[in-house]
Structure 1
């Protein structure tokens, strides 16, 4: 069930744990006490708290910037269990927007939401050994209940195939029970890695996992692609994040899958690809293991004869809270978060200005009433708005505070604005200020928010496009990676060749020039893009000079999270 999104090994191969590159180790360090201390405002002379903003640049120390941004931006807080985090309202609201968006689309496809237990019996988990081998090192086990040891230990679900498919074998008795389409929004636990990275890779995370059963491969294949389109739409239409749709190579596909489709993102700050979501056709593998069969309705038989039983075709697909981390890494800047308007808990904050020690109580109340009137107009236009009436904080403090939290649009209003019949606006994604007439607020602010959304997507999309490089010769492969690119190469589609490319691009090969500032990890295949740059001509050699095979297709390789 889309396990590789959160770091499970593809194809169920345990292998040796890869040595983490230095930059990943740094990115994964959790510093809860330091962050909590940094978040506490210190008092200035005169009583106003001093805002402790982001104290490092994104370009200079991405891991430290990321830690500070998510904590000081009120997106996440650390718990006393490493790798398990508190989702604050700002980030959890994004997850709710994603749920609403996705639920509306899958319900039109006939998918129904459900819920299966958190615990899976060991016997059930082991029914499909090839599948579970990919998760074996990550499974958390419950061995005691209260003060008693359990006779049989229970697994905390790392994924739900084995939990759900026993039910499917009971539920599906006839071809008339097909298709069966179920989805659940839940949490899962993976307990292998030592250095979690909030949102991107954590021991407990939130996701949805859809599991469906179909009569034919064709029906299953149509759904796989529908879901992939919905995943791409979440990223591009909600999170303003560009993705590349494609198919995983055999080396990288989900354990036990017939094939895996994927959407792949890109993190400009480190030049790495990142798997964003996956939709799998599981084929008939699990149907065989769990005896999910029906009589063939298309078989012609004589009267009194029974039709042959055939295995159903199954799909699974998953989307996780990793998406929030991807959004943060792509859009955030040195001031903190930048949240796309469509998923912002607060789209607009209104800050009263021009209030000082000489302002009378009556004038202050009048100004605050006008600010509230502006808020009411915007709420009437379905804008999510908040007024900042905090006493003891200067407008400058408030501006910086809301900037750090990524609110898409700030509006300031004071006596001068009133005199001019306008409000003054500041976009979070751009420098500079502008004005909007008070009479036009209800129409112009929603338009401006949509423009911010579009501009954020275009900026990220242009950057991703500029860092997808077509490479035709091996000598250019590693230099392109070092320049923070993902690369499109003509490849033979052999798994052994992929492994060799990963090794030879890691900087461990004698005589190979690798930028010392680049991570030492090698490049793996990210996907076979749906949109191929051009046709691969007959006789074209695979990009790997050690490979003796012809290239079959363009494959996107890159260093990856």
Structure 2
């Protein structure tokens, strides 16, 4: 048995890093800042992809794919966009290698310099809007609702598996519309899709809101977001949806002819979530024994482990397990029967606990005689002995209960760690002693927002969409405020 994980209370960061590696989700790659997503981790991502892709298609979107490389001149066309991403761009300057004349491997061929440098995409707005210019001529071509699943590169200095890596996987939606109202409606619709996925699939409660000007996506008129709370009280931005106005249409001259024959620029949106959701999933639910996965996203929903004295007894148990497995699969439940002889049952129990398998069934000789099976649930670590008759329906109900229970636990945690404060002294005290989300008045200025960030490392995560009008005074400046915003330290 490997040594126990670090505990969350001792070192939350080390607990997270070790859990990602020991649960076989991902590991660091030979390329600085990049990661290898291992099969078990990628299986979770695939389930996320499948669910989200279905939701996108239900709302009328189709998938396409655009180039990884973007001409440098494209990024120059939208000023705020290039300013927002300039420091994170990886640049391709040459297109050929040659043997080192000194016999030391290969070197860049200086004769093979590109006429124009290429940027490895940090996001695809520029290359996609340059393409949309050729696709859109009339109002009949609108709305254009496109999504792509891709990888992007942002040259991060300080990296952490899933949460912040130089290369990561994501989806990015890019849509064009005839009116501002349609584009805003699309932006909000996709925010709702993300919130529904986070809560119903990931079992992670989120706050829906709009970003301040300081935190807005580079090149957007408005950025909407969902914010989740991790078990250390820090916030994690789990998804964003941007109303781009006509900024990129102007930059790339994307016009359409309306029903009256008048030419106008289209209105745009973009929206995306990434493998960062894997980090959110881990940090929102897992415990000191390992992963706790919501059943909807677990690669293995049920594992069955036999406990036997000899080969004859194993054969009898296996025969019974085959019936159980068949019934579970009929209900669409993913199940693994681990009859391998390379580890004892206790070791297997610990390994599947570490990997977050929601339900474990164990069957021994006495269970075989009594027509029973031991059922253990990962989230509460409780066990009970249940009749084999009707076990598939029992497990199906149990999986549903686990999914709901994990969500309720996370929601309760967020509610217990959300505080209303009315003074900067109280604000600092809660940040330093408790963390969590702080609902506080802000005067609406970027200057105050920056000063609070500089002094406390807390940022305005969002202005909640369900915010009630509440007159007050800013906790920092004492100036009038129209409502509370969500502050937190964040990943």
TM-score of the superposed pair, with normalisation by structure 1? 0.83
Q: Displaced runs of 4+ in structure 1, greater than 3 A?
A: none
1:536 to 464, 470, 486: 470
CA contact (8 A) 1:480 1:486 kept: no
2:339 corresponds to: 389
1:118-267 correspondence runs (5 A): 118-147=68-97, 148=109, 149-151=112-114, 152-191=116-155, 193-267=156-230
1:69 to 1, 19, 38: 19
| RMSD of Structure 2 on Structure 1 (CA) | 1.4
Report the secondary structure of 2:463's partner residue. Answer: strand
Distance 1:74 1:98, change over 3 A: same
2:354 to 383, 396, 404: 404
1:452 corresponds to: 402
Report the secondary structure of 2:326's partner residue. Answer: helix
1:7-156 correspondence runs (5 A): 51-147=1-97, 148=109, 149-151=112-114, 152-156=116-120
Report the secondary structure of 1:135's partner residue. Answer: helix
CA contact (8 A) 1:284 1:311 kept: yes
Report the secondary structure of 2:284's partner residue. Answer: helix
The answer to whether structure 1 residue 499 and structure 2 residue 450 are counterparts is: yes
- State which drifts further: 470-479 or 102-111: 102-111
1:462 corresponds to: 412
CA distance in 2: counterparts of 1:330 and 1:77, whole angstroms: 20
Q: CA deviation at 1:105?
A: 2.1
1:490 corresponds to: 441
Deviations 1:383-430 (A, max 9, x none): 100011111311101100111111111100011112221110111111
Q: CA deviation at 1:265?
A: 0.7
2:370 corresponds to: 420
| Structure 2: stretches of 5+ with no match in the other structure | 98-108
Deviations 1:430-470 (A, max 9, x none): 12211221111121111101101110000001101111111
CA distance in 2: counterparts of 1:98 and 1:124, whole angstroms: 32
Q: CA deviation at 1:113?
A: 0.3
Q: CA deviation at 1:485?
A: 2.0
2:105 corresponds to: none
Report the secondary structure of 1:207's partner residue. Answer: strand
1:347 corresponds to: 301
2:277 to 311, 314, 323: 323
Q: CA deviation at 1:229?
A: 0.7
Deviations 1:351-376 (A, max 9, x none): 001x23xx3x3232222222222222
Q: CA deviation at 1:53?
A: 4.3
2:485 corresponds to: 555
- State which drifts further: 334-343 or 373-382: 373-382
Report the secondary structure of 1:451's partner residue. Answer: helix
CA contact (8 A) 2:231 2:285 kept: no
TM-score of the superposed pair, with normalisation by structure 2? 0.94
- State which drifts further: 325-334 or 139-148: 139-148
Q: CA deviation at 1:156?
A: 0.7
CA distance in 1: counterparts of 2:75 and 2:486, whole angstroms: 34
CA distance in 2: counterparts of 1:118 and 1:503, whole angstroms: 36
Q: CA deviation at 1:253?
A: 0.8
2:234 corresponds to: 272
CA contact (8 A) 1:90 1:344 kept: no
- State which drifts further: 99-108 or 456-465: 99-108
CA distance in 2: counterparts of 1:486 and 1:55, whole angstroms: 27
CA distance in 1: counterparts of 2:157 and 2:71, whole angstroms: 26
